[in-house]
Amino acid sequence: MHQSRVIEVSGQFAGAAISHGGQFRFKAIDPRAEELDESVWPSLPELERVVACLFTTGRLPERRP
């Protein structure tokens, strides 16, 4: 069974993280997050960090190793 979690930045709904085989698939709702739509992340905190950076700076951060 899949579980989802809302991803918000400063109260703005960016999309949802859906658990997917121990990782998280992002479904973008806000157009600012569209380039991350359907991307897969190893952890929820990493996904939240990237979405927050995109919303606050307009750019994607470098991926952490």
Instruction: Give residue-wise pLDDT tens across range 13-27.
Output: 999 999 988 999 999
Q: Is 18 inside any structural domain?
A: yes
pTM reported for the whole predicted model: 0.87
Our count of domains for the chain comes to 1
**For residue 1, what are the contacts with CB-CB under 8 A and spacing of at least 6?**
none
Residue 65 falls within a domain, yes or no?
Answer: no
Is 43 within a domain? yes
Which tens digits make up the pLDDT trace of 9-65?
Answer: 999 999 999 998 899 999 999 999 999 999 999 999 999 999 999 999 999 987 666
Residues in Cβ contact with 38 at an 8 Å cutoff, skipping those fewer than 6 apart: 25, 26, 27
Instruction: Decide if 60 contacts 50 (C-beta within 8 A).
Output: yes
